[in-house]
Amino acid sequence: MLSETKNRFLGSLKFRLTLLSGCIIALTTLAAFLLLYGHLAHALQANVDHDLAAELSEFQSIYSQGGLEALRREVALEESAKGKSYVFVRMFDTTGAEVVNSDLTYWNSAATKPPANGASGSPVFSTIDLPERRIKARSIYGMLHPDLWVFMGVDAQQNSIVLATYRQRCIEVFAVSLLASLLAAWLIAGRAMRGVRALTTVAEEIAGGDIDRRITTTGYGNEIDRLAWVLNTMMSRIAALIKETKALNDSIAHELRSPLTRIRGMAEMAITSGATLEKHRETAAEVVEACDELLGMVNSMLAISEMEAGVVGLDAKPADLALLVADTCELFQPAAEDRKIVLNTAVAGPAKVMADNSRLQQVVANLLDNALKYTPSGGTINVKLTNEGNEVVLAVEDTGMGICESDIPHIFERFYRTEQSRSTPGNGLGLGLVRGIVNMHGGRVEVKSVTGRGSIFRVCLPCLH
Ligand code: ADP
């Protein structure tokens, strides 16, 4: 449990962000300090070298004015003014014999020999280690005159002290700034993660079943707000889909109940009534009819679902829609006559479209069936087929009961039936099927209706040239 909490803490974005910014700050500060340290060390050494070079040129002018004697006096003066432990001076003639020198008591190891490459002409600077005194000295070896060379050095311990102090201060500043930046990074990361934590809490509540819960945005329009907006939109769509699915399930259950109850009733009657064989046959025929009705409904539901999911393909071929419409109207003519409805067909062919004949026939049949169902006796149905621009338009117009404006957006939904049509047989799947098939053909369905005066359903399909 404890190690789980520890792992969660170490793996948390807040901790990782803090660590990352801490590392970046530490590295940049370290690099800056090292750079400054290098510059400082170089500047200090250049300063000492500059003094040594100035001393050398001073010796040169003294030698040219007063010769060796003057130089000896100057060296003695230097020695007493700066201290024997601070400075040493040695001068050599061309044979390498020492002609002037200061007291070398403190410079045993350093002052015995000049640098090996010191005979080139221009002055040579070097750093000398004096372990017995635990100091470093800086020396110069140069020419005073073609027959006189000087090797001189000064204690550079002061520079080492300055650099050591600088190093110490750097470490202190580095430690304080690292701590401060880690704290700041921790606070900033915590603030940045606050939005994520709020999102997580709401997401957990949604995952727990509260699908109507939404994330409150801060209104700053930042990344978290945008994420919250996307999640809210997604959740609203999911919630709408869930509600739709639930409503659909309720409708299916409701639609199945009546025919199933009817079938059950018939079967029960057949068992208990002791009827004749003839009567049993009649009941069986009724059961078959009720089952066909049910099967038709289930098949329509499946067809709509498959079309919506895009899992069915069309067996589409170039066809003349005029022939198909004329044939289907002919099939409906007897039914129209039975109901004393005039069915007019004005089909101007050819109307070439890519068509899956059986499916488009179903479209025409469903529209005609509806027109007949919802038009009272004495009414008229006009079927027209025209070419309009790049489209073939089939219009089925009736003088029936019409559809009120508020129902029109819903009539293509599965199981939707208007209040006025409840007494007429039907299951509310016909128009869903019509729209699914027409959409698959790349077309669209339009409806215009006036209550009490009739409706026009227009099927517009892309025309084949
Ligand atoms: P069904 O006709 O089986 O009820 P549909 O999906 O074909 O199902 O139609 C859905 C609803 O649209 C119908 O219940 C009816 O209310 C309305 N409707 C469809 N066509 C017409 C029409 N021609 N006239 C009036 N109402 C119609």
Task: Report which protein residue has its CA nearest ligand 1's atom 12.
Answer: 411
56 lies in a domain? yes
Element (H, E) at 130: strand 124-130
The 3-state DSSP class for residue 406 equals: coil
Tell me which of 309, 338, 373 is where a domain ends: 309
Residue 104: per-residue pLDDT: 85
Q: What is the rounded distance in angstroms from the CA atom of residue 412 to the CA atom of residue 429?
A: 8
Q: What is the rounded distance in angstroms from the CA atom of residue 352 to the CA atom of residue 464?
A: 5
**Residue 99 sits in the same domain as residue 70:** yes
Best residue for ligand 1 mutational test, from 251, 410, 417, 457 (most atoms within 8 Å of Cβ): 417
Phi then psi for residue 21, to 5 deg, are -65, -35
**Residue 360 sits in the same domain as residue 249:** no
Distance (angstroms) between ligand 1 centre and the Cα of 198 equals 48
Could you tell me if 363 and 319 are in contact, meaning their C-beta atoms sit under 8 angstroms apart?
no
**Residue 298 sits in the same domain as residue 345:** no
Which residues have C-beta within 8 Å of that of residue 155, sequence separation ≥ 6?
85, 86, 87, 135, 137
Distance (angstroms) between ligand 1 centre and the Cα of 459 equals 15
Could you tell me if 383 and 368 are in contact, meaning their C-beta atoms sit under 8 angstroms apart?
yes
Q: What is the rounded distance in angstroms from the CA atom of residue 52 to the CA atom of residue 139?
A: 8
Q: What is the DSSP letter of 264?
A: H
Which tokens in the block code for residue 383? 């079927």
Give 250-308 pLDDT, tens digit per residue: 988 988 898 899 999 998 888 887 778 888 898 899 999 999 989 999 999 999 988 88
**Residue 42 sits in the same domain as residue 110:** yes
**Residue 286 sits in the same domain as residue 372:** no
Residue 220: per-residue pLDDT: 81
CATH of residue 265's domain is 1.10.287.130
**Residue 288 sits in the same domain as residue 341:** no
**Residue 421 sits in the same domain as residue 448:** yes
Distance (angstroms) between ligand 1 centre and the Cα of 428 equals 7
Per-residue pLDDT of the chain (465 residues; tens, 9 = 90+): 567 777 778 888 888 888 898 889 889 999 999 999 999 999 999 999 999 999 999 999 999 898 889 999 999 998 899 998 899 999 988 888 888 888 888 887 666 666 655 556 688 898 888 888 888 899 999 988 888 899 999 999 889 899 999 999 999 998 998 899 889 889 988 888 888 888 889 889 988 888 888 888 888 888 888 988 999 999 999 999 888 889 888 988 988 898 899 999 998 888 887 778 888 898 899 999 999 989 999 999 999 988 888 877 888 899 999 999 999 999 999 999 999 999 999 987 789 999 999 999 999 999 999 999 999 999 999 999 999 989 999 999 999 999 999 999 999 999 999 998 888 888 899 999 999 999 999 999 999 999 999 999 999 999 987
Pocket around ligand 1: residues whose beta carbon is below 6 Å from it? 366, 370-371, 374, 398, 400-403, 411, 416-418, 421, 426-432, 455
174 lies in a domain? no
Which tokens in the block code for residue 146? 């073609």
212 lies in a domain? no
Residue 423: per-residue pLDDT: 86
Ligand 1 atom with least separation from CA of 396 = 23
14 lies in a domain? yes
CATH of residue 366's domain is 3.30.565.10
Alpha helices in 146-276 (DSSP H): 157-207, 223-273
DSSP string spanning 359-400?
A: HHHHHHHHHHHHHHHTS-TT-EEEEEEEEETTEEEEEEEE-S
**Residue 34 sits in the same domain as residue 71:** yes
Task: Report which protein residue has its CA nearest ligand 1's atom 13.
Answer: 417
Give 186-199 pLDDT, tens digit per residue: 998 888 888 888 88
Q: Which of 137, 120, 173 is nearest to 51 (CA)?
A: 137
Which residues have C-beta within 8 Å of that of residue 2, sequence separation ≥ 6?
none
The CA-atom distances, in angstroms, between 419 and each of 5, 304, 405, 408, 426 are 61, 23, 13, 12, 13
Tell me which of 125, 145, 162 is where a domain ends: 162
Return the residue matching tokens 């945008």: 226
Residue 411: per-residue pLDDT: 96
275 lies in a domain? yes
Q: What is the DSSP letter of 124?
A: E
Residue 236: per-residue pLDDT: 92
185 lies in a domain? no
Element (H, E) at 352: strand 352-355
Which residues have C-beta within 8 Å of that of residue 219, sequence separation ≥ 6?
225
Amino acid at 127: T
**Residue 109 sits in the same domain as residue 232:** no
Q: Which of 185, 191, 193, 188 is nearest to 21 (CA)?
A: 185
Amino acid at 340: K
**Residue 321 sits in the same domain as residue 297:** no
Q: How many CA atoms lie within 13 A of 397 on its CB side?
A: 12
Q: What is the DSSP letter of 109?
A: T
Could you tell me if 198 and 215 are in contact, meaning their C-beta atoms sit under 8 angstroms apart?
yes
Residue 118: per-residue pLDDT: 52
38 lies in a domain? yes
Distance (angstroms) between ligand 1 centre and the Cα of 337 equals 21
**Residue 69 sits in the same domain as residue 155:** yes
Domain count, the chain: 3
Tell me which of 144, 162, 180 is where a domain ends: 162
Judged by phi (left if over 0) then psi (alpha if -120 to 50, else beta), residue 177 lies in alpha
CATH of residue 156's domain is 3.30.450
186 lies in a domain? no
Domain limits for position 69: 2-162
Rg of the Cα trace of the chain? 52
- For the whole model, what pTM was predicted? 0.61
**Residue 28 sits in the same domain as residue 155:** yes
Return the residue matching tokens 């010796």: 59
Distance (angstroms) between ligand 1 centre and the Cα of 387 equals 26
